[in-house]
Every structure is written in C-alpha cells, then in structure tokens.
C-alpha cells in the first residue's frame, strides 16, 4: 500500500508529474521515465544521513513514482557536486561556508538566488571504541582531544582512569581512526573539540582532518570509520550514533555529569543553540553551542542539512524536488528517520519553518 506522503507534506505537494521533462540550464537535472511522467532526481553527500535517506527514498518513491538517487560521497563532495550542477540537491552535515566560497558558488548555481538550506537530520556523534568487555567510558572533551591528538596513547592512561573509577582499563595501545574524506561529521567533531577542550585541541573546526596529526588512520565515510574500529582492538573513532552498532561508546562530560549520545539529548542541545548571523530567510544554518553545561544535553552532535535551489528551470524537476524535500521535513518523514536511523525529529517550530521554506521551491 502506498503511504500517504502527499497528505503528510501538504504544504508543498502539488505534483505535476505528467509534464514532459526538458534538459535546459538548471533543469538538466531530471530524466523522464518511459511514459514521460516520472522524474529521476540525483543527489548525495552526507553519509550520516544514509539510513534516513534510505527510509525517505523508499517511502517517497513508493508514493510518487519518481526515483531519487542519493550517493553517499561525504558532505564536502555533496556540496561541491550541488554547486557544480551534478546534483539537484545535497545533504550536508555542515552548512555552506562562505569563507570558502561555498555559499557564493551555491548562489551562482541557483541562477543568482540564495540557496535553500534546511535542517533535516539531527543526531549525536558518538565517540566509539573497541575494548572487549567494556561497553561505556566517561570522558571530558579534553581527554577526547588528547586521545585524538596523540597525547594519550594507551587505554590505561591516568587521565582516562581518573574519569572511570573502578573500570579495569587495559594497557592496550590506542589506535585512532578518523575520516579521510571531507566530512561534515569531522567538522562537527573538531568544532566540539576546539570549543570544549580548554585548549587541548589546537585546530579550528574543519571538515578535513588536520594534516599535522599523523598518529591516526584515515578511512572513507562513516562505514569506513566504523569498520576500522570494529576490526581493530583498542581502536577509537567518531561517527553518527546510529552507525556504531555493538561498539563501546563514550559518555561526554557536560557540566558536572556525563551524558551518553542519545538523540533526545542532542535535540535539546540544538534547541539551546543559535542561528548563524547574516543568513537569508531561506537559510536555517545553526551554530551549535558546544560548551553547554545543562544536564540532559549532548553538544557533540551534527545537524545535517538539505540544500536546494528556490527555482529550477524545469517544472517537473521543481515539483519533484519540492515534494521530496517536503516529505523529508514533514512530521511523518522526521518520524520515519527516527524509526530507521535513531535520529531526533526536528522540534515543531523548526519543522514548520523548514516546511515553509521548502514550499518556496517552484519552476523559474
């Protein structure tokens, strides 16, 4: 049975899929089906969104008859491919950064208009480790930073022991696993370390792992990091919490307590954060507050965005992008991601704002 997606995303769904698809300008981003009424959308980027995208695509395709392709190439490549016109939409674990010309490039790609940027996926980033017999550990941001920068090299280091009284820590060497690709997860992880570690992490937030740190192994994508940690006793890495499986996870120090990577705690931290200044009204970029001390918050999180244009040259493309993104940010779509990927649904205020912005998508 087809799911009632059109009802769930009624703000934007007025599918005119009977239109013939033409290939001109920014409209060269969709393909007509054999009968001329189905659209194929190509998108990609964030690997953290992978499970959620699988759920969203399956439900949307079942209802609409359209096809959505989503390539898990990492947030940086996703933004690049959107800006080049290879993707009709992108998923990114960090917002477009104009310091690197990304926002300007996206505006140029969208025929001079500000691109749409709405949060679609909120999830804690887990610090995951492989130590047989140990399922959880407590760590401050400073301890985590000193592990990943190579200052702490064995699991029985006194800094780890001090936060884990009664845990029998082995003398095993620590094997650091990090992302090798340009990654929004890395950007959020290093932002947390830079802001919260009291100077233990010297490098400002970046989607690319610091070149001067040679103590770890870089692997591609969320699956690469989790696979590397899983295969290596004594390893530690970072990834979307939904992907860690049976690995041990770190509870991070927040104020005077330690908080596990739980979706509700990440959502609470996001709600306490502020918008990026100077962004247009179709851009919901959020600066996450990493130094929260409120119990029940988890400030090591990623807010993963969907990026699109306000207008597309081709009407069928515009309708399909609008209807797909409308489903993703709808209450039904957000719950589908929560069920499949363990993410935190957008709170009602953010969800309604995102839906209103997506509703602006139209043909030129």
Which residues are documented as binding site for phosphate? 46-48, 75, 93, 183-185
CA gap 219, 210 in Å, rounded: 14
Residues 6+ apart with CB under 8 A from 299: 192, 196, 252, 254, 269, 288, 289, 290, 291, 292
Residue 23 pairs in a beta bridge with none
Q: Is-contact 104 113, C-beta < 8 A?
A: no
The dihedral of CA 262, 268, 274, 276: what is its sign?
Answer: positive
Q: Is-contact 178 188, C-beta < 8 A?
A: no
CA gap 199, 203 in Å, rounded: 9
CA gap 11, 6 in Å, rounded: 9
Counting every residue, how long is the chain? 364
CA gap 279, 96 in Å, rounded: 10
Sequence ranges of the binding site: 46-48, 75, 93, 183-185
DSSP 8-state code for residue 39: B
Q: Is-contact 54 79, C-beta < 8 A?
A: no
């Amino acid at each position: 049975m087809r799911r009632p997606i059109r009802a769930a995303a009624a703000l934007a769904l007025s599918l005119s899929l009977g239109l013939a698809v033409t290939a001109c300008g920014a409209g060269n981003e969709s393909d007509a089906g054999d009968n001329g009424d189905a659209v194929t959308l190509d998108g990609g980027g964030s690997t953290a969104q992978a499970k959620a995208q699988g759920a969203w695509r399956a439900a949307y395709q079942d209802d609409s008859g359209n096809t959505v392709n989503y390539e898990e190439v990492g947030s940086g490549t996703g933004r690049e491919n959107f800006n080049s016109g290879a993707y009709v939409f992108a998923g990114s674990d960090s917002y477009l950064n104009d310091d690197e010309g990304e926002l300007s490039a996206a505006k140029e790609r969208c025929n001079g208009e500000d691109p749409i940027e709405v949060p679609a996926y909120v999830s804690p980033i887990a610090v995951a480790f492989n130590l047989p017999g140990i399922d959880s550990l407590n760590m401050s941001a400073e301890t985590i930073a000193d592990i990943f920068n190579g200052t702490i090299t064995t699991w029985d280091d006194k800094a780890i022991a001090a936060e884990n009284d009664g845990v029998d820590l082995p003398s095993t060497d620590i094997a650091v696993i990090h992302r090798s690709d340009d990654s929004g997860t890395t950007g959020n992880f290093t932002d947390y370390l830079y802001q919260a570690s009291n100077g233990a992490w010297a490098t400002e937030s970046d989607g690319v792992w610091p070149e001067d740190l040679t103590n770890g192994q870089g692997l591609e994508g969320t699956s690469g990091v989790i696979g590397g940690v899983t295969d290596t006793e004594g390893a530690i890495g970072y990834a979307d919490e939904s992907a860690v499986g049976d690995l041990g996870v770190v509870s991070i120090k927040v104020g005077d307590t330690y908080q596990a990577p739980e979706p509700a705690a990440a959502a609470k931290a996001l709600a306490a954060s502020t918008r990026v200044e100077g962004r247009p009204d179709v851009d919901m970029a959020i600066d996450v507050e990493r130094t929260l001390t409120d119990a029940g918050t988890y400030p090591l999180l990623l807010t993963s965005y969907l990026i699109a244009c306000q207008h597309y040259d081709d009407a069928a493309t515009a309708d399909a992008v609008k209807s797909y993104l409308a489903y993703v940010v709808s209450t039904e779509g957000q719950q589908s991601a929560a069920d499949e990927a363990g993410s935190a649904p957008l709170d009602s205020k953010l969800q309604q704002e995102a839906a209103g912005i997506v509703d602006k998508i139209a043909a030129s």
